[in-house]
């Protein structure tokens, strides 16, 4: 259903450094256009990289609506709709559907630490509401709770649950998920630095941080993987790998916003507390990675 290079879009803010003000709608619209022009295959607004935890409800729904409006049907929009409260996630999905989103990215409930049965109940309740197709987002480093392969196989049997963004870091789960969920179940990597292995194992794409900064390179890499052009895919991965690492040299999305401000001089690097502007060491790592990628 979804494939290729799918940037987890940053949310630009007005203001300086940590005093970030309102969402910069013009900068966000320009980012959406640039991503599509550079070959990105779909877009994810209001994910972790979009600083969704620091957006209020009105801002959250406005950013999704802006993305849908600016994309204008050119690529699918997978709206970040997750919450550790099932009712809030349900409302995000309802509003995202009303805005015209194509699917919802729903993170495993964080902080609550539900059981595997609780995870199934959460996603079943959202799927039963019938608002949008759901891509499960498994990122145990942030949520603590991990969706185990047997649990995902149960979720894959629920109408409306169509895929996973897998940031577990366990590459052999791609095969486990193919066997448990079927080959039509959409598997998207949540880790840029593992995307090559993920695709070789049978994945269909990547929800990417690096694609914010290097959309054409990331799209070319995904296209090469899909075409089975593994030599070209490896060459592109070698160019991108230092960037994949540098963008997490400090708390995300500080480094990726700095990198974007280097690649696009008109893009604001502001972040919202508790995220702060990235360190000088992280900036040096980003600068070096941009040079290796041929982006600066």
**Domains of the chain, with CATH numbers?**
4-229 (3.20.20.70)
Q: Which two tokens stand for residue 273?
A: 């507390």
d(CA 118, CA 83): 14
> Angle at CA 161, nearest 5°, toward 158 and 163?
135
Residues recognised as catalytic: 137, 165
Q: What are the structure tokens assigned to 254, written together?
A: 């500080």
Cα–Cα dist 45/24, whole Å: 14
- In angstroms, the CA 113 to CA 161 distance is 21
Contact 32, 236 (CB under 8 A): no
Residue in 292, 240, 232, 282 with CA at minimum distance from that of residue 257: 282
Whole-number Å distance between alpha carbons of 10 and 254: 10
Kindly report the CA angle at 92 between 79 and 42, in degrees rounded to 5?
A: 5
- Residues 167 and 222: their CA atoms lie apart, in Å, by 17
Which pLDDT score, from 0 to 100, does residue 1 have? Answer: 82
- pLDDT tens per residue, the chain (296 residues)? 899 999 999 999 987 656 568 999 999 999 999 999 999 999 999 999 999 999 999 999 999 999 999 999 999 999 999 999 999 999 999 999 999 999 999 999 999 999 999 999 999 999 999 889 999 999 999 999 999 999 999 999 999 999 999 999 999 999 999 999 999 999 999 999 999 999 999 999 999 999 999 999 999 999 999 999 999 999 999 999 999 999 999 999 999 999 999 999 889 999 999 999 999 999 999 999 999 999 98
CA 283 to chain centre: 22
The secondary structure of the chain as a DSSP string is ---EEEEB----BSSSTTB--SB-HHHHHHHHHHHHHTT---BB-SSTTTTGGGS-HHHHHHHHHHHHHHHTTSS-BEEE---SSHHHHHHHHHHHHHHT-SEEEEEPPPSS---HHHHHHHHHHHHHHTSS-EEEEE-HHHHS----HHHHHHHHTSTTEEEEEE-S--TTHHHHHHHHH-TTSEEEES-GGGHHHHHHTT--EEEESGGGT-HHHHHHHHHHHHTT-HHHHHHHHHHHHHHHHHTTSSSTTHHHHHHHHHH-TTS----BTTS-PPPHHHHHHHHHHHHHHT--
Residues 6+ apart with CB under 8 A from 252: 48, 49, 209, 275
């Amino acid at each position: 259903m979804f494939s290729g290079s799918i940037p987890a879009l940053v949310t630009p803010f007005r203001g300086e450094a940590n005093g970030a003000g309102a969402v910069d709608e013009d900068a966000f619209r320009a980012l959406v256009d640039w991503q599509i022009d550079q070959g990105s295959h779909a877009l994810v607004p209001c994910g972790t990289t979009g600083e969704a935890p620091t957006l209020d409800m009105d801002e959250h729904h406005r950013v999704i609506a802006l993305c849908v409006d600016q994309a204008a049907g050119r690529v699918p929009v997978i709206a970040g709709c997750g919450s550790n409260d099932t009712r809030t996630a349900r409302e995000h999905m309802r509003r995202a559907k009303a805005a015209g989103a194509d699917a919802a990215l729903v993170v495993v409930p964080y902080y609550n630490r539900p059981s595997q049965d609780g995870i199934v109940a959460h996603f079943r309740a959202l799927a039963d509401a019938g608002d949008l197709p759901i891509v499960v987002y498994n990122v145990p480093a942030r949520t603590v709770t991990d969706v185990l392969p047997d649990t995902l196989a149960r979720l894959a049997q629920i109408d409306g649950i169509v895929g996973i963004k897998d940031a577990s870091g366990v590459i052999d789960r791609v095969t486990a998920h193919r066997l448990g969920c079927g080959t039509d179940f959409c598997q998207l990597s949540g880790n840029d630095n593992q995307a090559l292995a993920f695709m070789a194992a049978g994945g269909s794409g990547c929800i990417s941080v690096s694609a914010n900064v290097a959309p054409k390179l990331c799209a070319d890499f995904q296209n090469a993987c899909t075409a089975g052009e593994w030599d070209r895919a490896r060459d592109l991965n070698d160019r991108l790998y230092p960037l994949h690492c540098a963008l997490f040299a400090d708390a995300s999305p500080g480094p990726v916003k700095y990198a974007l401000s280097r690649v696009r001089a008109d893009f604001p690097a502001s972040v919202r507390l508790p995220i702060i502007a990235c360190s000088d060491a992280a900036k040096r790592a980003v600068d070096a990675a941009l040079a290796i990628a041929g982006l600066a």
